[in-house]
Structure 1
Amino acid sequence: MKTKPRKKVLAQAIALSATLGTTLGTTLPAMADELTLEEVIVTAQKRAQGLQDVPISISAISGAKIEDFNISSMGDLSGSVPNLQITKTGITNQIGMRGIYSGANKGFEQSVAMYVDEVYYGRGQLIRLPLVDLERVEVLRGPQPTLFGKNAIAGAISLTSKKPTQEFEASLSTLYEFEHDERKTVAIVSGPLTDELAGRLVLSHREMDGWLENTTLKREEPNVKETYVRGTLVWEPTEELSVTLKAETSEFDTAGRSMENHSPQGIYSSVPAFANVDTKEDYKRQDNGQESDNQVDNLVLNVEYELGEYTLTSTTAHLEYNARELIDVDYTALDVFNGTNQGEDFKQFSQEIRIASPTEGNFDYIAGLYYQTSEMDVFDNLYFGQALAGGALGAAVNGVSSKTFEQDSDVWSVFAQFNWRITDQLSLTVGGRYSDEDKEGSRTLVNDGSATIGGQPGFDATLAFLGINAHSISDKRNENQFDPLVNLQYDINDNTMVYISYTEGSKAGGFDMRSNNLPTAATNPGTFEFEDEQATSYEIGAKFGFDRGEINAAVFYTEYEDLQVTQFDGTVGFNVQNAAEATIQGIELDGRYLLAENLLLTASLAYLNFEYKDYDVAQCAPALVATQPPSSSVAGLCDFSGERAANTPEFSGNMTLSYEHAVSDWGMLSYALNMDYSDHYYASSTLDPNSKQGSYTKWGARIALANNDNDWQLALIGNNLTDERVLTQSTPLPLSETLTADNGVAYYGIYERPRNIALEFTYNF
């Protein structure tokens, strides 16, 4: 049965490639003249290559665009890349690619591997890093295990920082955004220090008041403060040797979140405890405080040595971060779970050594060894407040449930990718990565009811009703995996290439941080260990280039097995297990076309069909608002087999039109218009109808004036100019169903930034 969709997708790919090939071969070249596009260089295969030469579905976003449109984080960037979704939940951050995410659990690895200057950034908290002084961002869709590690089961994102220059340059840029009182300053100095040594120093500071009014705390939210410092030295004593040392530190703190409560249903608003909860979506919110303070430090030593015609590369890195968060996890002004605090400390050391052969001749390869060790410590303290007094949970008031989680990991792998040019036009690439990983994990939960009215016995009994039981558990696991790659590429001519690939991917298993009970418990059993995920992917694509433009197309089909999912336990907790199988298939198109001198059109479009093939233990939407098929195996859960997942719009796309012209004989005026489109989707993993986000189109624009010597530039930047209200995640408010006996419910939602308009001035020394 599973072969039918695959054959259909491959047939669509062949038809699409033939159609594009015919169109481009007969029409577009006739339009060619002296206008020519600049080549885009990427390192998706650990070599510098033209984007059109890489047989992967890939998007490359230049550092210039990131700066031009005031893109400050990965979340801001995701709207410009089809089939890339970055979301924030109440407690975690997630990257999704083609609809595949990691769930809201700090024990999960990310499904999309993120690399910064070839260093693996695998934790969700690191998604929030500021984007400053980048050369480019490359987004590789589909499993990428061979060169990016086994956790790149859905794709990979590679960020490349700008390097020291051979000539002295310095700049100072300052930005002010009018709607949300955002201030950002970036200072850069770069150039040679000696004949053999060059350096680059980047300093950035950003503050923002926010766009939501917290009526409880009388402040604007999310209130942001970010400081980023990066220093890079490049030493080149000979033509054969290049040594790069990079040190960076960043602090990014946020007070409040882009969150509002919404959509009260049933008797929710008439229940006395909830009568004063603000559920109107009007850019005003209530709660007792959300704080997130983060510091990340990174030290990287990269050595490249030309060994004859071969290149030997070593990358050594130390990465660590500390996060402290205060979360009002009832997400209201009520004193229910007020003052909950979480923390995460993480350290990672990694070493990669690889060798790249010359590319001349009929055979070349890249091969290497990788080692990584990491330590993670997490704590989560849940406080029970006065709003529970007088009710069924009154014995919990003034109590605290404290959870600690530790995980140590050691992974080593060997990888190789071989390319055989069978003929001048036909190439075969085969590769694979073998990985071996050891993990140790432990979780301890302690319930302290010493300050409650009923004392410890009453507190324990109340929390047992909620499925929160004191326990301690630990375990070890070892897993090994081989992920292969086969790619066949055919160059029809110098400007047209087609390819077909087969890839297997995997994502590591681990230990559940969030569960509130032991797996062996007689009632409300929890979980601890979960297994790895597996993916099998097929892709066929084509890349067409001509003097004034280029078009790329990819059609894919991927099967996922043993998806790691987070299940609601029916009270206040969540459990993890490998409980789902899914297939995804779709089409991705992107291209550039030089319409006229200095007038460039860039566009992309994606179609995504996501289907759970087997998901019999999904968390249901509240029974009050939806009727969903019940699970055949676990009472209280639902069967989502045949449904599509949350945050998987069927269509998404982006378009940018840019133009520049001279102003008299002294300056240059440039314009850019940007459009991001998304089809409708569910913003909740429960597929709740009250979490549905309708289709939307967001517009951005930029106009800039600079003198001919580029000594200065003044730019006006606008994003989300039509002020679209975009919901990215939505979940029922904690206890809203419990305290209404399932006769009422309301939700909290997380929203993207509304309209914002900024003025930026840059001076180049």
Structure 2
Amino acid sequence: MDRKYLLFGSALAAFTATPAFAQDANAPQSDATSGLQDIVVTAQARNQSLKDVPVSVSVVDGATLQDKNLLRLDDIQFYVPNFKMTEVGITTSIFIRGIGSGENQGFEQSVGLYIDGVHYGRAKQTQAPFLDIDRVEVLRGPQSILFGKNSVAGALSITTAKPTRSFKASVVSSYEFNANDFVTEGYVSGPITDHVRARLAMRYRDAQGFEFNLRTGKKNPQRDEFAVRGTVEVDLTDNLTATAKAEMSRFDRTGRTGQTFVSDPIAVGPFAGLTYGQVLYNVFGQDASVLDEKRDGRRAATGEFSNNKMQTYSLGLDWKIGDYTLKSTSAFTRLKYNDNCDCDFIGADIFSAGFREKFDQTSQEIRLISPEFDSFDFILGGYYEHTKQDYGDQIVVPGNSLLIPAINAQAPGFGNLLANTQAARTARVKGGCAVSLRAGELAFHA
């Protein structure tokens, strides 16, 4: 993806009330000698200073996300070493240190995504836009003990902003001129009573895209996104806090970002001396857009869309028992999407592929976290997950597909049988569940 438009586009701050990232005048100042601010992370399931965590971690805080206009998870790959995320034709590939699950949609990601401790295992869930984020932690290397057996390459741990004990509000809008990319987001946070705090955050984005589609005459990728999250934090007792969260998001896209280019003509055979695009145009009579074989910000494809909806409901309990902490996280997530891919990735009429999925996940996790003693500390926990998935995909061959005359030339009449046909498959997984004692860390200090 060409990032220069997003990195150097003009931004307009429309309105800001009580800036979200303003520093408290009474807060401790950064180390005057080093000039560095202490960064607190939860990479080991407890609040620790980043410099004390024996794990390779990169942290992108909420202020950086806003200042750099990082809108989605794939944007942070330009600021985090060894992290790569690519939205390909049929799925999203995530790699850390070159390790990932690839493009097989039957696999959950080898780089696990966790938002406020809840696992999001489907690749599509990584495409959801950022909303009111406190920080993003990228953990490199296997994280199976504390995060789960699927996180063999690493983990992405996202922490959302929590309700505040004083009233705060913010609205920020930006506009990028080249892509006609308009984003507005804001939040309201503060106390309701002495023991109840709440936070409401919303985000909207409308973007026309920065690559020109020669077939449709419009820019790609066009994005229409909306997300809202409500969080309520209640002090049930002096030692017990409950946090309830409900979030709904919609992120739709028309068109993609990839360009197909061919640099060398065919060397031998009946089409020697012609490029792939010239063969499609001169021999098969395809649209002239197939002749564009340069990396010039222009592409050609039709019928591409991706419509996605996601919901999350969670309840967290945080109980202080002396110096120990007992945490419980209950969650339900739902993902629904409907995609269509022009999977020949050019302006020719060949075939398209459709994908749909509905995925429900219910999970429960409990952890007992010890204080950090002089010589050792420990974390004990259990995890339960129940999932239900309905999935289907299909290959569509239109009546004007060039596959039809090509096949007819080899087997007369057979290609006509493919016209306007759909080859579909569906899969359903009900009642899948997992139970594990996945968090059982015992650490000894020198």
Choose 1 or 2 for highest CA Rg: 1
Of the candidates 328, 337, 350, which is equivalent to residue 351 of structure 2?
A: 337
Letter in 2 for 1:398: N
The residue aligned with 1:401 is: 423
Q: How far apart are the structure 1 equivalents of 2:125 and 2:333?
A: 11
Letter in 1 for 2:196: L
Q: How far apart are the structure 1 equivalents of 2:328 and 2:187?
A: 27
Q: How far apart are the structure 1 equivalents of 2:191 and 2:407?
A: 70
Stretches of structure 1 lacking an aligned partner (at least 5 in a row): 1-31, 427-765
The residue aligned with 1:92 is: 91
Partner SS for 2:145: helix
Q: Give the Å deviation of 1:219.
A: 1.2
Q: Give the Å deviation of 1:214.
A: 1.4
Q: Give the Å deviation of 1:211.
A: 0.8
Q: Give the Å deviation of 1:270.
A: 4.0
CA deviations on 1:634-653 (whole Å, 9 max, x unpaired) are xxxxxxxxxxxxxxxxxxxx
| Contact 1:94-1:127 within 8 A present in 2 as well | no
The residue aligned with 1:201 is: 200
Q: Give the Å deviation of 1:34.
A: 4.6
Task: Answer yes or no: is 1:412 the counterpart of 2:412.
Answer: no
Q: How does 1:92-491 map to 2 (within 5 A)?
A: 92-263=91-262, 265-266=265-266, 267=271, 268-271=276-279, 272-273=283-284, 276=288, 277=290, 278-338=292-352, 340-385=353-398, 386-387=400-401, 388-392=403-407, 394-395=415-416, 396-408=418-430, 409-414=432-437, 415-421=439-445, 426=446
Q: How far apart are the structure 1 equivalents of 2:319 and 2:285?
A: 66
Q: How does 1:305-704 map to 2 (within 5 A)?
A: 305-338=319-352, 340-385=353-398, 386-387=400-401, 388-392=403-407, 394-395=415-416, 396-408=418-430, 409-414=432-437, 415-421=439-445, 426=446
Q: How far apart are the structure 2 equivalents of 1:354 and 1:204?
A: 32
User: Does the C-alpha gap of structure 1 residues 390 and 315 become closer, same or farther in structure 2, counting only changes over 3 Å?
Assistant: same
Q: Give the Å deviation of 1:274.
A: 6.8
| Contact 1:210-1:222 within 8 A present in 2 as well | yes
Partner SS for 1:166: coil
Q: Give the Å deviation of 1:375.
A: 1.5
TM-score, normalised to structure 2, is 0.84
Partner SS for 1:145: coil
Q: Give the Å deviation of 1:381.
A: 1.7
Q: Give the Å deviation of 1:254.
A: 0.3
Q: How far apart are the structure 2 equivalents of 1:47 and 1:150?
A: 19
Aligned residues: 390
Q: Give the Å deviation of 1:400.
A: 1.4
User: Does the C-alpha gap of structure 1 residues 49 and 252 become closer, same or farther in structure 2, counting only changes over 3 Å?
Assistant: same
The residue aligned with 1:570 is: none
CA deviations on 1:507-547 (whole Å, 9 max, x unpaired) are xxxxxxxxxxxxxxxxxxxxxxxxxxxxxxxxxxxxxxxxx
Q: How far apart are the structure 2 equivalents of 1:326 and 1:84?
A: 27
Q: How far apart are the structure 1 equivalents of 2:313 and 2:351?
A: 38
| Contact 2:307-2:339 within 8 A present in 1 as well | yes
Q: Give the Å deviation of 1:389.
A: 3.0
The percent of aligned pairs where both chains have the same amino acid is: 38
Q: How far apart are the structure 2 equivalents of 1:134 and 1:206?
A: 16
Deviates more, 1:141-150 or 1:385-394: 385-394
| Contact 2:94-2:102 within 8 A present in 1 as well | no
Q: How far apart are the structure 2 equivalents of 1:401 and 1:92?
A: 19
Q: Give the Å deviation of 1:33.
A: 6.5
Deviates more, 1:340-349 or 1:136-145: 340-349
| Contact 1:217-1:289 within 8 A present in 2 as well | no
User: Does the C-alpha gap of structure 1 residues 334 and 220 become closer, same or farther in structure 2, counting only changes over 3 Å?
Assistant: same
Q: Give the Å deviation of 1:363.
A: 3.2
Q: Give the Å deviation of 1:420.
A: 2.7
CA deviations on 1:576-612 (whole Å, 9 max, x unpaired) are xxxxxxxxxxxxxxxxxxxxxxxxxxxxxxxxxxxxx
Stretches of structure 2 lacking an aligned partner (at least 5 in a row): 1-30, 409-414
Q: How does 1:731-742 map to 2 (within 5 A)?
A: none
Partner SS for 1:198: strand
Partner SS for 2:259: strand
User: Does the C-alpha gap of structure 1 residues 117 and 390 become closer, same or farther in structure 2, counting only changes over 3 Å?
Assistant: same
Q: Which fold has the larger relative contact order, with Cα–Cα distance below 8 Å and residues 6 or more apart in sequence?
A: 1
- The runs of at least 4 consecutive aligned structure 1 residues that moved more than 6 Å come to none
| Contact 2:209-2:221 within 8 A present in 1 as well | yes
